[in-house]
Structures are given as structure tokens and as C-alpha cells.
Amino acid sequence: MTKTYEKDFRKALGFTNQSDVKEFFKATDCVSINWPKINMLNRRLKDLFTRIHHTVHPSIQPEDFNSFLQTIDIAYQKIRKNDFLPRLNNFGRTPENVYYNWMRGYCAAAYFTKAIAVMLNIRQSAIHQIGMDDLDHLETFSQSPMADIEVSLSDSSKIRFEVQSGYTGTNDIKKHKVEEGKRVFKRQGIRSYVIHFDLFNGKAAVVDISEIDDRNLNYKANSRFEGQIVFSIPPEAFRYKLQQTPPAFKDLIY
């Protein structure tokens, strides 16, 4: 009977969902976007990748860097048009912070597409975007463990990549990414790899997560990923220095 009263009380306040009541009381739904800061962040993204572009080996630089920079403006305009920014306050972080971190990863995946093609000795046209980061639907926006890209190899087989980037020297892989990689390999026979670009140290690692044994991983909760369970990529996995010509893919796999 008490629960009925409490539910009726909240309904009298105008709410049928407990989460909506909490959000209303905390005023977490009152969001004011700092647009000048967003513009500063977009400029920082362009500066960041311009510096990277002039630092990495020429063989992995995108053919049309100006077009790459335009992807930042295109993504931003789409996100703003769909009114995502006022709702990007995940786990207490500000919308500006969520936006910047998401865009860094989005840009890194786009920028290093050529590097992946060079490693695999394939054309970039064989690399296909399959991830669920969706600029039209908030419910799928950066929420799926599905790999970012799928690659069609010359022997008609396929592999998948989760493209990650690190900016502080701390490099982790989320447990649910590993679980998805193992699930895809078991059901479809497609191998999945995490390719992690450590931009703080100028290196890259390729980790095969298709059959990885959880007993060999030191999983831990990581506050940087909203408390999600992760494992750290060991230093010896970073076998490619970004200022050098990429080795063959098979020599990079950890």
C-alpha cells in the first residue's frame, strides 16, 4: 500500500517515471550549452590533428587533409541540428566534455583509415564503417560495442576493427568490447581486433580480441570510462611507432 501511495504522490507531481522525478529535483535537465567553448573545442580538434598530420609518417597521412578537417564541421553541424548537445551530460560530465571526447575518437578513426589500409596492404575502399555511432539517432549515438570498421581482404574473408585513441598515456580496452569480439568470432568466424593509437607517446597497438582468455587479463574498474570494466594494454603491445613506415599487419598483432 505504501508503494502505491508513493507512486500516486509522484504522479500527482506530474511524473510517472522515477528517473524523471530525480532529474527534475536535481535540475539536471536544465542545460545551457556553452557555444563559444564548443567553437573553441572545434578549433582545438583541428589544431590537434594538424599537429598529428605533420608529425606522423607521410605514408599514413590522408591524401586530402583539408577534406578530413571538413569532417569535423560536418559532424558538428549534424550533431547540433539533431539537438544532441543539451542531452550529452553522461555520468555528470558536461555536454561540452562529452562532445569533445566523442569527437576526438570520431576524428581519430577517420584520420587513421589510411594507416590501417597501409598495414593491411589493401585499398581504403575495402574498409567499411559498420559501427553504431549514429549522428541521426541519440539512442544509438556512441552506445554500441560493435566494432567501428569491417575490412574485406583479398581472399574474400573479413576482419573487424575497433579503433581507439589515447591522449594521456593510459591505454585501456573495455571488457564489453572483448565480449563482443569473442561473440562475433564464435558466431560468424570473423576475427576482431582493437587498434589503439596512443597519441601521447606516438605509438600504436593491435590486439586480437577474438579468442582472448579472460584469465590472462587484469580487469579493473576505470573512472575515466564511467566505472566500466577495462584492462590495460601492456607496453609491449605497442609495436608501431607512428613516425615510421608501418610494419606488416601480421607483425603488429599482440
Average pLDDT value for residue range 76-82: 89
DSSP state of 85: G
Q: C-alpha cell of 215? A: 584469465
Q: How far is Cα of residue 29 from the mean position of the Cα atoms in its chain?
A: 25
Q: Are 231 and 218 in contact (CB under 8 A)?
A: yes
Q: How far is Cα of residue 188 from the mean position of the Cα atoms in its chain?
A: 23
Q: What type of residue is 245?
A: T
Whole-angstrom distance, CA of residue 161 vs CA of residue 202: 20
pLDDT for residue 209? 93
pLDDT for residue 61? 97
Q: How confident is the model at residue 193 (pLDDT cuts 50, 70, 90)?
A: very high
Given a cut of 70, whether residue 184 has pLDDT beyond it is yes
Instruction: Give the pTM.
Output: 0.83
pLDDT tens-place string over residues 49-60: 999 999 999 999
pLDDT tens-place string over residues 152-181: 887 878 999 999 999 999 899 988 889 999
Whole-angstrom distance, CA of residue 194 vs CA of residue 110: 15
Residue located via cell numbers 564464435:
186
pLDDT for residue 89? 58
Largest alpha-carbon pair distance within the chain? 71
Percent share of the chain, pLDDT over 70: 87
Strand pairing report for 158-166 and 191-198: parallel
